[in-house]
Structure 1
Amino acid sequence: MHLKPHLPSKTCGHCQRPFAWRRKWARCWVEVRFCSERCRREARRAGRAT
């Protein structure tokens, strides 16, 4: 069992909020830049998806 405080985290590229590792990102954690699908879409729309 994993405890949430021990999971890796990153800062979202759009909203600048911290988000934690999720099991569905286990294989692609290095490429994950946004905390949600909504932030990914908004960043593309705003032209800030770098």
Structure 2
Amino acid sequence: MARMRKKTDLPSKTCAICGRPFSWRKKWADVWDEVRYCSERCRRAR
């Protein structure tokens, strides 16, 4: 059985719009290099 990871162990980035840090999400696993915004709201505000 796989060991659970702590949220602090996950990679993180800073949002290009609001400047807040955000962590890796499983749904971003394939496109993590392309993710620039922390939320849909920031993506729309660009």
Q: Which has the higher helix share?
A: 1
Q: Which residue of 2 aligns with 1:46?
A: none
Report the Cα distance in structure 2 between the residues aligned to 1:28 and 1:17, rounded to whole angstroms. Answer: 19
* Structure 2 length-normalised TM: 0.90
Q: Any stretches of 5+ residues in structure 2 without a counterpart?
A: none
2:41 is the counterpart of 1:15: no
The residue type equivalent to 1:26 in the other structure is A
TM-score normalized by the length of structure 1? 0.83
Number of equivalences: 43
Q: Distance in 2 between matches of 1:40 and 1:16?
A: 13
Query: What percentage of residue pairs aligned between the two structures are identical?
Result: 65
* Separation (CA, whole Å) in 2 of partners of 1:25 and 1:2: 16
* Pairwise CA RMSD: 0.4
**Which residue does the alignment assign to 2:41?**
38
**Would you identify which runs of 4 or more consecutive aligned residues in structure 1 move more than 3 Å?**
none
- Consecutive unaligned residues in structure 1, runs of 5 or more: 44-50
Q: In structure 2, what residue type is equivalent to 1:18?
A: P
